[in-house]
Amino acid sequence: MKKLLFVILIFFIWVTSIYALSFRTYTKLVPTINSGGVEWAWPVNYDIAYEKGTTYVDLDLYIRKGTINPNWENDVESFWSKPGYNINIDFVTSSDDFNYWVEVVPGYGAPNMRYWWSDLGWREIAHEVGHMFGMYDEYGGNGALNPVTKYIGFDGIMGSILGTNLDRYYEVFDEAIASLNRDQPVPEPATIFLVGSGMIGLITFARRKFK
């Protein structure tokens, strides 16, 4: 009976190891240009995992100062999430573990990635979060433009009307997964299966032999 429980436990650990998402932190310095032709760059930092056709993105925002609007989290998450892309944003109050810090100022004004205003709508926050994922501005103003394509339209969330979540934005996540896999490949489920089966076999063998 004890042996059966042991085997069940090993099996449980093995199954969990297959289904646990292996999040990795993706960082990048995004080269950009403003409308005046000045070149600069901003840092990107978020956690990402890929499993069974879905990309999972996790962004922890440390609110260093001020108070967020309680609706932002859900609204921004549901805006950026779509089939194949699961976007999770958490506002954290501890500086122990976070991807980005933000300060919130009371009132209303023009935000950037770091400094937000308490009366902003979720679309403006979704736009700034887009930058945190590495997305460029798409309006002709004094923003962070793609140095190659520059102004390409205004109809998406990264454009001046703060519109929809256009498909092209999600290329940053595909690129992040590809780049992480180049640097450090994730073991395939088939490999985990073989290693797991081997381990169970060995343990069973050892237990029989030394009983």
Residues that bind Zn ion (CB under 5 A): 137, 143
What are the beta bridge partners of residue 51?
54
Give start and end residues of each alpha helix (H) in the chain. 2-19, 72-80, 122-132, 171-183, 189-209
Q: How far is the CB of 58 from Zn ion (least distance, A)?
A: 22
Structure tokens at 28: 């990048």
Q: How far is the CB of 80 from Zn ion (least distance, A)?
A: 15
Whichever of 56 and 80 has its CB closer to Zn ion, that residue is 80
Which residue, among 173, 171, 178, has the nearest Cα to 149 in the 3D structure?
A: 171
Whichever of 143 and 156 has its CB closer to Zn ion, that residue is 143
The burial of 111, by beta-carbon neighbours within 10 Å (0-12 exposed, 13-18 middle, 19 or more buried), is given as: middle
> 85-92 and 54-65: which strand pairing?
parallel
Q: How far is the CB of 151 from Zn ion (least distance, A)?
A: 13
Q: How far is the CB of 121 from Zn ion (least distance, A)?
A: 14
Whichever of 60 and 137 has its CB closer to Zn ion, that residue is 137
Give start and end residues of each alpha helix (H) in 44-188. 72-80, 122-132, 171-183
Whichever of 56 and 128 has its CB closer to Zn ion, that residue is 128
Q: How far is the CB of 136 from Zn ion (least distance, A)?
A: 8
Whichever of 49 and 144 has its CB closer to Zn ion, that residue is 144
Given the structure tokens 């990402």, which residue do they identify?
Answer: 48
Give the residue nearest to Zn ion (CB).
Answer: 137
